[in-house]
């Protein structure tokens, strides 16, 4: 699993690629998200279009970042949630926690 970080109209867009399942790669993603939040980035979109699947470690990373940015008066949103990840969010009842958009552009625009 690798990831890229881009800024679009003041919104940080994180795009992981591959499987988010724990281990050193997942730790790097988690650390990067927390680093951005500690740098006072208040608008983050995670683009899931290139994520094959994630397990509970991936969900933990999303939740940890969601809570950290919310506590910092910011927002984290998801874009391109695949059917497979959507199913995981559904069975863990996290689907109502995260705001989801069908594209990165729409997620970025939603910040206004």
In the complex, least distance from residue 105 CB atom to another protein, rounded to whole angstroms = 27
CA distances in angstroms from 74 to 2, 38, 56, 83, listed in the order given? 25, 11, 24, 27
2: contact with another protein by CB under 8 A: no
In the complex, least distance from residue 9 CB atom to another protein, rounded to whole angstroms = 29
In the complex, least distance from residue 50 CB atom to another protein, rounded to whole angstroms = 15
How far is CA 55 from its chain centroid? 14
Asked whether 36 and 2 are in contact (CB, 8 A), the reply is no
In the complex, least distance from residue 7 CB atom to another protein, rounded to whole angstroms = 27
Listed residue (74, 85, 73) closest to 16, CA to CA: 85
Query: Which residue number, 53 or 111, has a Cβ lying nearer to another protein?
Result: 53
User: What residues between 12 and 51 interact with another protein by CB under 8 A?
Assistant: 19, 21-25
Query: Which residue number, 5 or 21, has a Cβ lying nearer to another protein?
Result: 21
Asked whether 16 and 50 are in contact (CB, 8 A), the reply is yes
CA separation for the pair 94, 108 (Å, rounded): 21
- Residues lying near another protein in the complex (CB under 8 A) are found at 19, 21-25, 52-57, 59-60, 63-64, 66-67, 84, 88, 91-94, 97
């Amino acid at each position: 699993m690798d990831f890229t970080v881009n800024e679009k109209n003041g919104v940080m867009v994180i795009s992981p690629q591959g499987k988010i399942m724990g281990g050193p790669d997942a730790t790097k993603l988690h650390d990067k998200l927390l680093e951005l939040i500690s740098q006072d980035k208040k608008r983050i979109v995670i683009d899931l279009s290139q994520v094959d699947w994630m397990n509970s470690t991936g969900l933990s990373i999303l939740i940890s970042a969601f809570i950290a940015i919310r506590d910092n008066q910011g927002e984290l949103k998801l874009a391109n949630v695949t059917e497979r990840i959507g199913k995981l969010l559904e069975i863990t009842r996290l689907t109502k926690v995260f705001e989801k958009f069908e594209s990165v552009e729409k997620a970025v625009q939603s910040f206004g």
